[in-house]
Structure 1
Amino acid sequence: MHKRSKAWIFSFIFLSTAGCSISRTVNKTLSPPADTKWVNFEVKNPSQYTKPFPLEVRYISYECKKKRVSGFDGSVITEPSYNVIRVPMHQESGDIWKAKVAMTGEGSCKWTLSAVNLGIEYIDATHLGKDLVPSTAVGVSLAFDNDSSRNGQFYMVTGNILKLAPNYYPLIHTNKRIQKNDALELFGKKDFIQKRIVFNVNNDVVVIFSPKLDESKVVKMVAPVEYRVGAYYKIIYPDGTVVSDGSTHPDIRRMEK
């Protein structure tokens, strides 16, 4: 079971709408055609204590549309159907993990690839603290169409090869109001990098994710013991600097000086 929330949050942000569905059951069989193009993913696992999580893949269909009742005015809205699946990554050799997903699917719904989440998470936390438990993951959120990137927060990239090598650091998160044990998380400049890929549909796509993890610099973040005005998180950086100004995420610039 994956001890994370951020990756799945991104998946369900794609799907969240106000209202209730009134559509018929949609055939979610993919059955990629023989001539489909593929997106080939490669993740270089940076540590023996981390592991790539299964790809979180979303397909979209404009053929099998669904209807829902708006929660705002009661009107009926027709919109595309979505098909979210998980694709396991396989260890090829050493720290290299691979997987691939089809860009298209046959059948009446004519599914096409819309979005993919990939990344890494801690699977063991005790090397940095006896009672630590692994927590949220980090990685990349990729949009392959305008539907997935409609929130405007995706950075546009072109070409059929995408290489990313972000820097990550360990974060020990203490919040005794929520859980007894401290959580070991990963954090970077952006916990989930958002990219909108514009690619040549006649060729396969290659995504190479080679994160770097520096465990020599550990940040601690301690939640206030009670909710009250002026009670903020305390962020403790590796050099001993303590910041408590309302920030809820460490400043990556302090780590990369």
Structure 2
Amino acid sequence: MFNKTNAWSLSFVLLMVSGCSNAVDKTLSPPSDAQWVNVEVKNPSPYTKPFPLEVRYISHECLKKRVSGFDGSTITEPSYNVVAIPMQQGAGEHWQGKVARNGGGACKWTLSAINLGIEYTDATHLGKDLVPGTAVGATIAFDDDASRNGQFTSVQGDLHISPKYYPYIREKKIDKIENTLSLLGKEDFLSLKAEAAAVIVFSPEIDESKITRFVGIKKKMKGVYPKIIYPDGSVAPDKTLFPDFNKVDGMSIK
């Protein structure tokens, strides 16, 4: 199910590979004295699973050149190296992985960012026609390069993250026959900068008693819009693009 992360990581991956025409040695070889980041994900449901850690390394030794699309000039910039590290199941619902801060190798790779999180692997318990949708989780930046878009919140020390999520069913009527089950959170992916973190613990909570639905339209018609239906049956105003997490979170469902 790792391919489910493609939707949320597209811009992340494009940044890594855009214009990369110079071959570099991406072999990782952490030294014997390398420091490690220990990652633990607590799987909250038998219907979900942590996806493999998506780890981004950066090299300021093996620089690459690309042609600017604006004026045709040549730009020299660092190289990027993205690897997937499978999570290993430990006791019960606890999954672990570890990432070397110093990736070593000929290019002296250093840790820049980690994507981690969970996704549904089985959706039929909430609808026989449902398939798993997109993943949720966190992007942890370890340097200024990874956090340069300014959207990252800086934190000190180790991380213990416990976001809450609710089921979000998307019923598409046009161009897509699959109905998907994803998770609705305050943010799909938290953006945190934690340069000093040696331990990251991600313990999400899922409350399946409150389900939000996106109901698409069968065909495009003037004045007809998709609907977002909240767990209490209320409908979001026309042209609303995303559900209001705080509204769902504050609802009392009898």
TM-score under structure 1 normalisation? 0.92
Alpha-carbon distance in 1 for matches of 2:97, 2:226: 39
- The equivalences for 1:88-167 within 5 A come to 88-159=86-157, 161-167=158-164
Q: CA RMSD in A?
A: 1.6
Corresponding residue for residue 166 of structure 2 = 169
Corresponding residue for residue 238 of structure 2 = 245
Whether the 8 Å CA contact 2:27–2:106 is kept in 1: the answer is no
1:182 aligns to 2:187 (yes or no): no
Corresponding residue for residue 2 of structure 1 = 2
Alpha-carbon distance in 2 for matches of 1:29, 1:181: 39
Deviations for 1:213-244, whole angstroms, at most 9, x for unmatched residues? 00011110112334466543311011010113
What percent identity do the matched residue pairs reach?
Answer: 55
Deviations for 1:123-159, whole angstroms, at most 9, x for unmatched residues? 0000000110001000001110000100001111111
Alpha-carbon distance in 2 for matches of 1:228, 1:147: 45
Whether the 8 Å CA contact 1:102–1:113 is kept in 2: the answer is yes
Whether the 8 Å CA contact 2:54–2:82 is kept in 1: the answer is yes
Q: Any gaps of 5 or more consecutive residues in structure 1? A: none
Alpha-carbon distance in 2 for matches of 1:189, 1:168: 8
Corresponding residue for residue 76 of structure 1 = 74
For this pair of structures, how many residues does the alignment match? 249
Corresponding residue for residue 11 of structure 1 = 12
**SS of equivalent residue, structure 2 residue 183:** strand
The AA in structure 2 aligned to 1:68 is: R
The AA in structure 2 aligned to 1:72 is: F
Alpha-carbon distance in 2 for matches of 1:196, 1:67: 27
TM-score under structure 2 normalisation? 0.93
Alpha-carbon distance in 1 for matches of 2:69, 2:249: 46
Alpha-carbon distance in 1 for matches of 2:145, 2:58: 9
**SS of equivalent residue, structure 1 residue 81:** strand
Corresponding residue for residue 221 of structure 1 = 214
**SS of equivalent residue, structure 1 residue 9:** helix
Whether the 8 Å CA contact 2:17–2:80 is kept in 1: the answer is no
1:232 aligns to 2:195 (yes or no): no
State the Cα distance separating 1:248 from its structure 2 match: 1.8
Q: Any gaps of 5 or more consecutive residues in structure 2? A: none
